[in-house]
Amino acid sequence: MKEIGMGRLQGKKCVVTGGGRGIGRGIALAFAREGADVAVIDRMGDNARQVAAELTGLGVTAIAFSADVSDETSITQALTEAERQLGRVDVLMNNAGINTHVSLIDMTVATWDEMIAVNLRSVFLCTRVVLPGMIERRWGRIISTSSQLAHKGGRQLTHYAAAKAGVLGFTRSLAYEVAQYNITVNAICPGPINTDMSLVGSPEWKAQKLLELPLGRYGEVAEVAPTVVLIASDEGSYYTGASFNMNGGDVMI
């Protein structure tokens, strides 16, 4: 799918966590095509640097950081430095995440804690770094990647679905707090998207998921990123506390 940049994010300073591959990379590219300068943060630093190089090739400023979004020191340092180098952060895309499939009966506390730390705690850690600057400037966009599983749940996914549902609660609550500063807070809830993450899970799980999907196929990264550009842009100014469901009809709400 071809995206045509119309400069809808011209001059905006954006951060994408988990931007080293998959959905995050697609969003970072879409931001850059619309004229934004972008900081790509990923615990896979080489991937982040590679994506930043791709963005630079599009004519914008792009910087890369290797950091762990679940680690307070690591992510605070990276975001503070990103903010310093970009001059400010207008758009924070909380996208980094992990997925594992484990029945609750077999789940260790460590597995549960890691899932909540990477997929939910991270959203709090990242947001609180960039929020003061957004409040000062009276403009900001906080966007987080939840999942259709936040609505629907899924077998062997209690930890993942709980974390992603937590992201929606965070989004709706913060939206109330910061609306007065012209800052919007929204979430996206993609259905199954063809990325490395979608390789997690058994062939049976995938077969069942395909049967459940009205559109009968997994989505593509290019079917997620345009909505994020809309939310991040000035055109998205009246969305807040919302969740956007590009999910192939998996959950119809």
Ligand X SMILES: NC(=O)c1ccc[n+]([C@@H]2O[C@H](COP(=O)([O-])OP(=O)(O)OC[C@H]3O[C@@H](n4cnc5c(N)ncnc54)[C@H](O)[C@@H]3O)[C@@H](O)[C@H]2O)c1
- String marking each residue 86-115 x if it binds ligand X according to CB under 6 A: ---------xxxxx----------------
C-alpha distance across the termini of the chain, in Å: 25
Distance in angstroms (rounded) separating the CA atoms of residues 40 and 62: 7
Please say whether the beta carbons of 201 and 174 come within 8 A: no
For residue 138, the minimal CB distance to ligand X (Å) is 29
Total count of residues recorded for the chain? 253
**Measured from the CB atom, is 166 or 190 closer to ligand X?**
190
Rule CB under 6 A: is residue 18 a binding residue for ligand X?
Answer: yes
Note whether 250 binds ligand X by CB under 6 A.
no
Tokens of 227: 């909505």
Tell me the site size for ligand X, rule CB under 6 A.
Answer: 28
Encoding tokens for residue 79? 């975001």
Which residue bears the tokens 């997994």? Answer: 218
d(CA 197, CA 93): 18
Q: Which range in 36-44, 55-63, 83-91, 151-159 contacts ligand X by CB under 6 A?
A: 36-44
Catalytic sites, residue numbers: 160
- Least distance from C-beta 222 to ligand X, angstroms? 13
Which of the ranges 50-58, 67-75, 76-84, 105-113 carries the binding residues for ligand X, by CB under 6 A? Answer: 67-75
114-143 residues near ligand X, rule: CB under 6 A: 118
CB of 93 to ligand X, least distance (A): 10
| 42 near ligand X, judged by CB under 6 A | yes
Among 21, 121, 151, 159, binds ligand X (CB under 6 A): 21
Contacts (CB under 6 A) with ligand X, residues 199-228: none
Distance CA 106, CA 231 (A): 39
| Phi, psi values for residue 87, rounded to 5° | 100, -30
Other Cβ atoms closer than 10 A to 46: 11
Q: Is 145 in the site for ligand X (CB under 6 A)?
A: yes
Return the number of the residue (36 or 149) whose C-beta is nearest ligand X.
149
**250 - beta bridge partners?**
none
Q: Does residue number 70 form part of the binding site for ligand X (CB under 6 A)?
A: yes
What one-letter code names the amino acid at 135?
A: I
- Tokens 């982040």 belong to residue: 48
CA-to-CA distance for 246 and 230, rounded, in angstroms? Answer: 13
Measured CA to CA, the distance from residue 117 to residue 120 in angstroms comes to 6
Nearer to ligand X, 60 or 193 (CB): 193
Binding to ligand X by CB under 6 A, coded x per residue (else -) over 161-200, reads -----------------------------x-xx-xxxx--
- H or E element that contains 213: none
Residues of the shown chain interacting with ligand X in the complex, contacts defined by CB under 6 A: 18, 20-24, 42-44, 47, 68-70, 95-99, 118, 145, 147, 190, 192-193, 195-198
